[in-house]
Chains A and B, each alone.
Chain A
Amino acid sequence: MINKKARIAGVPYVIWMVVFIVAPLCMVAWYAFTDKSGQFTIDNISSIGQYAPVFARSIWLALIATVICLLLAFPLSYLISRMSGARQSLMIMLIMLPMWMNFLLRTYAWMTLLENNGLINRFLGLFGLGPFQMINTQGAVVLGMVYNYLPFMILPLYSIMTKIDDSIINAAKDLGANMWQVTWRVIIPLAMPGITTGITMVFVPSISTFIISRMLGGGGNILIGDLIEMQFLGNTYNPHLGSAMALVLMVIVLLCMSIANQFDDEEMEGMLL
């Protein structure tokens, strides 16, 4: 069905995709399956087994962060989507506001807040509480993920919820649904595409982050991202192992995404409001 003009117009994008997406992927795959002398090997992949705890931790923390983001963003997005037009834009701008600040800076700010003699502990100290160990914990890492990636959950949820007409919610109430039942039987199914998008947009950066874990998690909570970074930039320089890790991470992400999409497909049909 694609006509000639459309095909020609598509050429630059195809070139772009080949140069910046397909080619690097091939290189990663090539590195992952070769050793220093360029010989084919699966040692890189098989040696990843010893890092299983790091992988498990990454998946676990990313999952927790994603769930927290979802739980926070869902009611908030719903409330915003029911506001008047001007209020909606204001709220969305407020949510976007922190994103205009540099990511490193934002995370750095949390360091100074969470430190043992940071702002929060000093404040609690005024009441004779603490100090609490907050920095260099898994909790701090999750906090950093939630704080940085929450907007990526809110935006897709909000944009799909604005499409849910008030009258549909009223219809559910009219038929005897309380707010809880309305949420489960109407809002969630209708918001499903936004939910899966939001989950993807939070889970993927969370599972591959290295700055957040480095700054807020200390040395004891390194994640896949840190491992990979070390293979390329650290003194353990080993791009072959690093590529193998990146490849495995990609497979994990793809698996998670296909699970999430499973929920989507059925709901999507006839969704056009």
Chain B
Amino acid sequence: MEDNVIVRLDNCSIAFDGETVLNNLSLDIHDEEFVTLLGPSGCGKTTTLRFIGGFLTPDSGRVLFDGKDVTHVPPYKREVNTVFQRYALFPHLNVFENIAFGLRLKKVPENEIKELVGEMIELVNLRGFESRKIGAMSGGQQQRVAIARALVNKPRILLLDEPLGALDLKLRKDMQVELKRIQQQLDITFVYVTHDQEEALTMSDTVVVMNDGIIQQIGTPEDIYNEPRNAFVADFIGESNIIEGIMHEDYLVQFAGEKFKCVDKGFEKDEFVDVVVRPEDIQIVTPNKGDLWGVVKSVVFKGVHFEMLIEQAGYTWKVHSTQSAEPGAQVGLKIGPDEIHIMKRSEA
């Protein structure tokens, strides 16, 4: 893995108006990888992309391309293209000319432009729209134009800043599949920004979870989901029950007034920790068979499963199950050792 790093952000920091937005951010992006920057609004995702695109120079730190320092290289000299958060298509040009923009700048011969743009239009399913004005295209179509306009330049890296943010759910899903297909077909590195965790988990090879300008965790979607490193990641990636606990010794944790076997170790004796349990990892059983027992407060049908809130000794557990229970009923909760994730208390 080490030798095919295409972009390296090395300790990049930046502040706007005295307020630190990114703090010592370091990130390696590998060739042909689909990397997703995931985090809540304002956490610095777009700012990170702008470092890579060359629209912003970090106050300190370096941006490396193939090992070469490009921190101060302007955007038009980088082998990177961007799909902007709001597409930023040229309103004075039609679909064909929007896509051809980069090629014309490179003085590509006219017949070649026709061919390359034609291929792109094919790729993003926009045949027949060539001479349409941008204003006469729907959001989803504009989005495809933006992708084609960037890809036609054969960039080594494509930056996508919440490209699907403005689309409805159905179109989003379709485009997710389409983008993944395009990425695999063209073997281009994608750096994708989203604040939709599901989108990140579905599409990416690597997910970078950010908060407040700091990388919280880097890993495969499975890692991020199953082994969240801290309470923020656990909470942000899917719904979670996060509860305070004490790690008595390796493989033994106490929370909600009970001791549980777990699979984590390496904590200090009696260290205070955060315990994370996914709602779908809690089993509802009869009260006498449970590790914990509580009272069902509410039941909501969510399409595939029921979401239940169960109150137990002052803590409300969120449980997802395909079986429902009656509100007011007493139930037992069973949590297996594999389902218990222990993390260090976040400083906050």
Chain A residues with a Cβ under 8 A of chain B? 165, 167-168, 170-178, 181, 185-186, 189-190, 267, 269-273
Sorted nearest first, the 9 A-B pairs with minimum C-beta distance are A270-B133, A175-B102, A167-B88, A270-B135, A171-B88, A189-B92, A173-B75, A176-B105, A174-B82
Chain B contacts of A270 at CB under 8 A?
91-92, 133-136
Question: Is B272's beta carbon under 8 Å from chain A?
Answer: no
Chain B contacts of A272 at CB under 8 A?
91, 135
Q: How far is the CA of A175 from the CA of B149 in the complex (A)?
A: 8
Asked whether B89 lies within 8 Å of A171 as measured between CB atoms, the reply is yes
What per-residue 1/0 map shows which CB atoms of B210-230 lie under 8 Å from chain A? 000000000000000000000
A177-B105, A272-B135 known; A171-B90 Cβ under 8 A: yes
A175-B149, A175-B153, A176-B153 known; A165-B101 Cβ under 8 A: no
Question: Is B58's beta carbon under 8 Å from chain A?
Answer: no
Q: A173-B76, A174-B55 are in contact. List 12 more A-B contacts (CB 8 A).
A: A168-B91, A170-B55, A170-B75, A173-B55, A173-B74, A174-B150, A175-B153, A176-B105, A177-B105, A185-B101, A185-B105, A273-B91
With both chains docked as a complex, state the minimum distance between the C-beta of B151 and any C-beta of chain A, in angstroms. Answer: 11
Chain A contacts of B133 at CB under 8 A?
269-270
Question: Is B245's beta carbon under 8 Å from chain A?
Answer: no
Chain B contacts of A267 at CB under 8 A?
92
Main secondary structure on A side of the interface with B: helix
Q: How far is the CA of A167 from the CA of B135 in the complex (A)?
A: 16
Please name the residue on chain B nearest to A268 by beta carbon: B92
Chain B residues with a Cβ under 8 A of chain A? 53, 55, 74-76, 80-82, 84-86, 88-92, 101-102, 105-106, 133-136, 149-150, 153
Please name the residue on chain B nearest to A163 by beta carbon: B91
A185-B101, A270-B133 known; A174-B75 Cβ under 8 A: yes
Chain B contacts of A271 at CB under 8 A?
91-92, 135
Q: How far is the CA of A155 from the CA of B80 in the complex (A)?
A: 36
Q: How far is the CA of A11 from the CA of B30 in the complex (A)?
A: 71
Asked whether B88 lies within 8 Å of A168 as measured between CB atoms, the reply is yes
Asked whether A177 lies within 8 Å of B92 as measured between CB atoms, the reply is no
Q: How far is the CA of A270 from the CA of B134 in the complex (A)?
A: 7
Tell me which of B84, B105, B135, B153 contacts A170 (CB under 8 A): B84
Chain A contacts of B81 at CB under 8 A?
174-175
With both chains docked as a complex, state the minimum distance between the C-beta of B97 and any C-beta of chain A, in angstroms. Answer: 10
With both chains docked as a complex, state the minimum distance between the C-beta of B147 and any C-beta of chain A, in angstroms. Answer: 12
Asked whether B106 lies within 8 Å of A176 as measured between CB atoms, the reply is yes
Chain B contacts of A269 at CB under 8 A?
133
Asked whether A165 lies within 8 Å of B88 as measured between CB atoms, the reply is yes
Interface hub of B81, B88, B106 (most chain A Cβ within 10 A):
B88
Chain A contacts of B53 at CB under 8 A?
170, 174
Tell me which of A168, A176, A190, A273 contacts B76 (CB under 8 A): A176
Chain A contacts of B85 at CB under 8 A?
167
Chain A contacts of B91 at CB under 8 A?
168, 190, 270-273
Asked whether B105 lies within 8 Å of A181 as measured between CB atoms, the reply is yes
Q: How far is the CA of A267 from the CA of B97 in the complex (A)?
A: 14
Q: How far is the CA of A170 from the CA of B86 in the complex (A)?
A: 12
Chain A contacts of B134 at CB under 8 A?
270
Tell me which of B76, B82, B106, B135 contacts A178 (CB under 8 A): B76
Please name the residue on chain B nearest to A175 by beta carbon: B102
Asked whether B76 lies within 8 Å of A170 as measured between CB atoms, the reply is no
Please name the residue on chain B nearest to A178 by beta carbon: B76
Chain B contacts of A174 at CB under 8 A?
53, 55, 75-76, 80-82, 84, 150
Q: How far is the CA of A120 from the CA of B84 in the complex (A)?
A: 52
Asked whether B92 lies within 8 Å of A170 as measured between CB atoms, the reply is no
Chain A contacts of B82 at CB under 8 A?
170-171, 174
Chain B contacts of A176 at CB under 8 A?
76, 102, 105-106, 153
A174-B75, A177-B105, A270-B134 known; A168-B153 Cβ under 8 A: no
With both chains docked as a complex, state the minimum distance between the C-beta of B69 and any C-beta of chain A, in angstroms. Answer: 20
Chain B contacts of A173 at CB under 8 A?
55, 74-76
Please name the residue on chain B nearest to A189 by beta carbon: B92
Q: How far is the CA of A72 from the CA of B135 in the complex (A)?
A: 32
Chain A contacts of B89 at CB under 8 A?
168, 171
Chain B contacts of A273 at CB under 8 A?
91
Asked whether B90 lies within 8 Å of A168 as measured between CB atoms, the reply is yes
Chain A contacts of B75 at CB under 8 A?
170, 173-174
Q: How far is the CA of A68 from the CA of B150 in the complex (A)?
A: 38
With both chains docked as a complex, state the minimum distance between the C-beta of B103 and any C-beta of chain A, in angstroms. Answer: 9
Asked whether A170 lies within 8 Å of B101 as measured between CB atoms, the reply is no
Interface hub of A185, A189, A267, A272 (most chain B Cβ within 10 A):
A185
A171-B84, A175-B101, A272-B135 known; A186-B90 Cβ under 8 A: yes
Please name the residue on chain A nearest to B77 by beta carbon: A176
**A-B residue pairs in contact (CB < 8 Å), sample of 30:** A167-B84, A167-B86, A167-B88, A168-B89, A171-B84, A171-B90, A173-B55, A173-B75, A174-B53, A174-B84, A174-B150, A175-B81, A175-B102, A175-B150, A175-B153, A176-B76, A177-B76, A177-B105, A178-B74, A178-B76, A185-B101, A186-B90, A270-B133, A270-B134, A270-B135, A271-B91, A271-B92, A272-B91, A272-B135, A273-B91
Please name the residue on chain B nearest to A182 by beta carbon: B76
Q: How far is the CA of A152 from the CA of B164 in the complex (A)?
A: 42
Please name the residue on chain B nearest to A270 by beta carbon: B133
